[in-house]
Structure 1
Amino acid sequence: MDDIRATPFSAGLQRLRAEALQDGEKVIWQGQPDGVARMMMWRFLWWIGCPWLLLTVAAVRADWIDQAAHPLAMLGVAMVAAPLVMLLQDLQTLYLITDRRALILRTAWGRRTVSQTPFEAMDAVFEILDIGAGAGHLNFASRRSPRSPDTDYTGRYGFRCVRDAPRLRDILEAARAGKSRRPPQEKAAVLTGAAERTA
């Protein structure tokens, strides 16, 4: 099982992880997005943003623009900062595969969120999208809202920018298959425990 990288956000992720896990739930794998790979995916914003800022500064000094200077400068700053903001968000994200579900935990920007996908709600076949440099997206659900940071524009949902995505697919498939092979008496015990917690 992969470890959480030691960052100022690690303790908060560990606390959220402890709160999110259900009684008796076993963590099979945990890891974080490859923030550097995601940042490199969006580095083209630097190629646009840096010249944009230089041209804006030159235009201001030459008195070519007046009232438009502020919004143009802010747009340039946003393009330059966007990849770094994504890196910070990835440092505050934790992916989990348990014996019951897949979890995405976040403590980014002061908001603690837990997104879960039970095995039963996953697609029959998991999809891997390679993004280069040994990283990729592991999609295990579809028809999700594209407003989620873990969903692409087509509604495919899963772990974004992870290292060795084929290995994670195998782990997730094995975890789901293991649950489907669980003995009937063990399934009944799990269902009974869930009903008791709900009552």
Structure 2
Amino acid sequence: MDELRTTIFSSIFSRALQRLLTEAVQPGERVLWRGQPDGVARMMMWRFLWWIGLPWLLVTAIAISRGWVGQSTVPLLMVGIMMVAAPFVMWLHDLQTLFAITNRRALIVRTAWGKPTVSATHFEDMDGTFEIADIGRGAGHLNFASGRSTRSPDTDYTGRYGFRCVRNPAGVGDILERARRRTA
């Protein structure tokens, strides 16, 4: 799985991400830490879709070969293909995301699908204590703000916002907490 982390895609996306991060950093602001989501951990979190999608495609292929389905062939195939492809699409989305901690704020920089975005959370807008949710494989979610819109890809269903699927979330949380204490 480590081969997936070091692909040609990561080098292509990293240049655009670095350029966007450089543009987002304000004068006098220093980047203390940067990292990307662990796309492989997210893929493994959603691997149950493969367990559903592959048998779905197999049953659909059998149904097509025996003539059981007529005009519904394309929708049935598309559902199976989407289930199998979804974890890979999430991995590509994670390759286009960069997390950064500066001496003033936490940044989430994204160039996903040609739409560059920068989301910043200043230290004073963060919760008093951070929440870490372990997802396995050494990765987890580091939630540092709450009450956010659930429409953001970096917010869970309760409105907790932060770095999703980050490697070593406890270590990253320590870096963020030290930066926040120095600023206060």
RMSD: 0.9
Which of 114, 126, 130 aligns to 2:118? It is 114
Match of 2:89 in 1: 85
Tell me the CA shift for residue 143 of structure 1: 1.1
- Distance in 2, Cα, partners of 1:151 & 1:16: 21
Describe how 1:30-179 pairs up with structure 2 within 5 A: 30-179=34-183
Tell me the CA shift for residue 172 of structure 1: 0.5
- Distance in 2, Cα, partners of 1:155 & 1:56: 38
Tell me the CA shift for residue 86 of structure 1: 0.6
Quick one: percent identity of the two aligned structures?
Answer: 66
TM-score, normalized by length of structure 1?
0.86
Tell me the CA shift for residue 104 of structure 1: 0.2
Max radius of gyration: which structure?
A: 1
Once the two structures are superposed, what CA deviation does each residue of 1:32-82 show, in whole Å capped at 9, x if it has no partner?
Answer: 001110110000000000110111111111111112211111111100000
Q: Which moved more, 1:114-123 or 1:5-14?
A: 5-14
- Distance in 1, Cα, partners of 2:145 & 2:70: 49
Structure 1 position 12 matched with structure 2 position 24: no
Work out the number of aligned pairs and report it. Answer: 176
One-letter amino acid of the counterpart of residue 42, structure 1: W
TM-score, normalized by length of structure 2?
0.93
Once the two structures are superposed, what CA deviation does each residue of 1:10-52 show, in whole Å capped at 9, x if it has no partner?
Answer: 1101110111100110111000001110110000000000110
- Distance in 2, Cα, partners of 1:21 & 1:171: 18
Give 5+ residue unaligned stretches, structure 1. 181-199
- Judge conservation of contact 1:7–1:91 (CA < 8 Å) in 2: no
Once the two structures are superposed, what CA deviation does each residue of 1:78-99 show, in whole Å capped at 9, x if it has no partner?
Answer: 0000000011111110000001
- Distance in 1, Cα, partners of 2:14 & 2:134: 27
Give 5+ residue unaligned stretches, structure 2. 1-5
